[in-house]
Amino acid sequence: MELRLTQKTGGYVVPVSKIRLHTSLKSAGILEWETPCRDIAPQNGDTVKFGEVFQGYVFRSEDDGRVKRAVCYDQIKYLLYRDTKEFTGKTAADILREIIRERELTAGEIADTGVVIPSYLCENQTLLSMVQGALEETEKVSGKEFVFFDRCGALCLLDAAAMETQTALDGSAQMTGFSKSSDIEETFTRFKLLQEDKRSGFRRVMEAENGGDREKWGVLQYFERVDHSWNQAQVQARLQALQDSYGKERQALEVKGVGDFSCLAGRAVFCRLPEEDAARRYLIEESVITGQGDVFRMTLKLREV
């Protein structure tokens, strides 16, 4: 796969001796590479493109006299800086588009998230936290999960359930090891919503509970104040969406295997473990691919969707 470095003086194909690509849904993608070529000098701000899987910018360069190294970040790096913003009557997709436009970044496919957030104040937060918070609010209302990532130089927002799945990992062929886990650290067995208007004296509490899970795990309560103007059907829909998203065990899987550059954070894959008869669909939350020459290894953190 070709690595191309673009500088003000022109573009160069860089012969790389080592490479490491780290992508995560929680942060910016990072490409680290080194080259023995003495004729190429990466400078901060240079554009780097690695095949059709990564495009970003040099943020650090090193030279130890033997090899030259560079650390590059994708566009999400520009969303890791803090600001204070207030949004009114906007969807998460609207908020993302506004931030992309303001920071002069490149947008890709951005799905319609549907849920209008009446008022959303973000004080001293990173821009990425603002986007993620809007997506969390959307999921609480609609029960839909949306995935935000940089697709080789284009910021994309996709519906997790509707994402195309082209890659399949087979336990007997591509995996060298795996580790499964389940947790209830962010799971709730009881959901309690409060509506209150102190001026009129209106107060209403609505609850939902999964009795079977409460018997197993105890009372894990979620509490939230919601807008007093919502009708009963709206509050009930919120409760149902919360139960759908947060009322179950979280199933996770870590896989080690042969490097596949289609396996980046934000993508969906089918994975079949050695002892399983059928493949399951997972979302890649984090991916690390390392190697040199034509030999690559990867570690993936997956969540079943």
Q: pLDDT tens digits, residue range 31-44?
A: 999 999 998 899 99
CB-CB contact of 99 with 130 (8 Å): yes
In this structure, are 55 and 126 located in the same domain? no
Per-residue confidence band for 173, with pLDDT thresholds at 50, 70 and 90: low
Per-residue confidence band for 277, with pLDDT thresholds at 50, 70 and 90: confident
Last residue of a domain, one of 53, 73, 93: 73
Q: How many domains would you assign to the chain? A: 4
- Taking only Cα atoms into account, the Rg of the chain, rounded to an integer number of angstroms, comes to 22
In this structure, are 47 and 91 located in the same domain? no
In this structure, are 37 and 143 located in the same domain? no
- Measure CA 114 to chain center: 19
Q: How many CB atoms lie within 10 A of CB 136?
A: 13
Last residue of a domain, one of 73, 91, 111: 73
Three-state DSSP at 86 gives strand
Question: 208: domain range?
Answer: 190-246
Above 80 in pLDDT, residue 171? Answer: no
Q: Which residue has the tokens 């799945």?
A: 165
In this structure, are 276 and 230 located in the same domain? no
The burial class, CB within 10 Å (0-12 / 13-18 / 19+), for 131 is buried
The CATH number covering residue 130 comes to: 3.55.50.10
Q: How far is CA 72 from CA 20, 22, 43, 193, 237, in A?
A: 10, 10, 11, 44, 43
Per-residue confidence band for 176, with pLDDT thresholds at 50, 70 and 90: confident
Last residue of a domain, one of 199, 217, 246: 246
The CATH number covering residue 170 comes to: 2.40.30.150
Distance CA(87)–CA(97), nearest Å, equals 12
In this structure, are 85 and 42 located in the same domain? no
> Cα angle vertex 53, ends 3, 152, to 5°?
105
Q: Among 33, 68, 2, 39, which residue's Cα sits nearest to residue 291? A: 33
Phi first, then psi, for residue 48 (nearest 5°) are -125, 135
> What pTM was computed for the model?
0.90
In this structure, are 96 and 152 located in the same domain? yes
CB-CB contact of 19 with 3 (8 Å): yes
pLDDT, tens digit (0-9, with 9 covering 90-100), for 190-237: 999 999 988 888 899 999 998 899 999 999 999 999 988 889 998 999
